[in-house]
Amino acid sequence: MKASVIGGGTWGSAFAVHLGRLNIETQLWIREHDIYEDVQKSQENKVFLPGVIFPSLVSFFNEFEEALRSTGIVFIAVPSGFCRQIYQKIAPFLTSGQIIVSLTKGIEKGSLKRMSEIMEEVFPFPPRIVVLSGPSFAKEIIEEHPTAVVIASPDLGLARKVQHFVSNPYFRAYASQDMVGVELCGALKNIIAIAAGISNALKFGHNSIAALITRGLAEMTRLGLKLGAESQTFAGLAGIGDLVLTCTGELSRNRSVGVELGKGKSLEEITSKMKMIAEGITTTLSVHQLAAREKIEMPICEKVYQVLYENKDPKKALQELLSRRLKDE
C-alpha cells in the first residue's frame, strides 16, 4: 500500500523519511513552492530537515491531486490552525477506501474542535480516521532512537492496521480505541510544556518540574474525562509519556516558548523569530475557552493563558499558583 504525507514541515518530512525507510512508496506534499523545487533537486528539505536525505521511495508534489493519487493511507502533518483549510482542499481528491491519519497535536481556534471532528465535518463521506500521537521528537525518529507512540481509532481493527503499517524495531506503535483521549493529550501537554519552560527560565529546579508535570496531568485528565476520554490514556504514552518529553526535552518548541517568556520576551517577539509553529500558543487560548465552557478548573493552563494573552508577569503567575487555597490531592 502506497502512502501520502500532507505537510512538508519538520514532522511531515521526518515521517515521510520514516515511511521510506520502511520500504513504503510515499508521496510527500510540500506547500512552499521554493522548498518543493529545492527538495526535487537535492532530495533534502534544507529548511525543516537539513542534513537528511530522503529515501528513494519518497517522491515530492506541490499539487494535492497528484500527491493523493493511488495511495491507500494519508498522513496529515500540518499545524492545527491550517487543518480545516487543508482538509477542504484535499477532500475532492480523497476516496472512501483511504485511511486518514492525523499527526497534528492541537485544538482548532474558535470551534474548539479536535482534528478528527473537523475531518468528520469536512470530508464528503464517513472517513476512516486514525490518530497518531505520543512522545516522538522528529529528530530522534530520524536518528532511529527507540520511540513508542499510540495509534488510536474507535475502530480498533483500523488502528491495528496502521499500527502494523508504521512499526519497526525502533518505532513501536500501540493500538487504542480512545481517539478522544489521545487527541486531547497531544494538545494539552503543550500548554504544560510552556509552563515548564517558564520554570526553567526562572531557574527553578527538578522539584518544580515534577510538580508541574504531576499537577498538569491532573488538569489534563479532568478536562479529558469531561469530554469523554478514558483515564488510562492519560497514564500512558499519549498522556504522561508525551507530557514528560515535552516538558523536559530541549527539542520541544513549546518548552522553548516558555523559556523565552520566562526571560521577559513578549509573545510577538518570540513568534516573529520562529520558523516552526508551537501549537501550545493557540491551544492555550482554546483550552481557556474549553475549561470555561465545561466548568473545569485548570489553574496551570489558566496562568499560562494569562502570561500569553494578558501580559501577566511569569513570576507573578507562579506566585499566584502557589498561593492558591490549600486542598487535598
* pLDDT digit string, tens, across residues 65-91: 999 999 999 999 999 999 999 999 999
Rounded to two decimals, the pTM is 0.96
Given the candidates 2.40.50.140, 1.10.150.120, 3.40.50.150, 1.10.1040.10, the CATH classification of the domain at 184-322 is 1.10.1040.10
| Residue bearing cell 537535492 | 42
- What mean pLDDT do residues 250-277 have? 93
Contact present, 152 and 131 (Cβ < 8 Å): yes
- What mean pLDDT do residues 3-28 have? 98
> What confidence score (pLDDT) does residue 83 get?
97
Domain ranges of the chain: 3-177, 184-322
In percent, the amount of the chain with pLDDT more than 90 equals: 93
Name the pLDDT band for 319 (thresholds 50, 70, 90).
confident
Q: What would the grid cell of residue 113 be?
A: 474542535
Burial of 146 (0-12, 13-18, 19+ CB in 10 A): exposed
Higher pLDDT, 17 or 125: 17
Name the pLDDT band for 144 (thresholds 50, 70, 90).
very high
Predicted confidence (pLDDT) per residue in 168-226, tens digit: 999 999 999 999 999 999 999 999 999 999 999 999 999 999 999 999 999 999 999 99
Predicted confidence (pLDDT) per residue in 109-130, tens digit: 999 999 999 999 999 888 999 9
- Rounded Cα distance between 138 and 7, Å, is 13
> What confidence score (pLDDT) does residue 183 get?
98
**Cα angle 154, 158, 163; round to 5:** 110
Strand order in the sheet with 58-61: 58-61, 26-29, 3-6, 73-76, 99-102, 128-133, 147-152, 171-176
Q: Is 189 a catalytic residue?
A: yes
- Rounded Cα distance between 92 and 123, Å, is 8
Burial of 93 (0-12, 13-18, 19+ CB in 10 A): middle
Q: What are the two backbone dihedrals, phi and then psi, of residue 155, each rounded to the nearest 5 degrees?
A: -90, 100
| Residue bearing cell 521511495 | 57
Out of 105, 113, 161, 189, which one is annotated catalytic? 189
Q: What's the fold here for domain 3-177?
A: Rossmann fold (3.40.50)
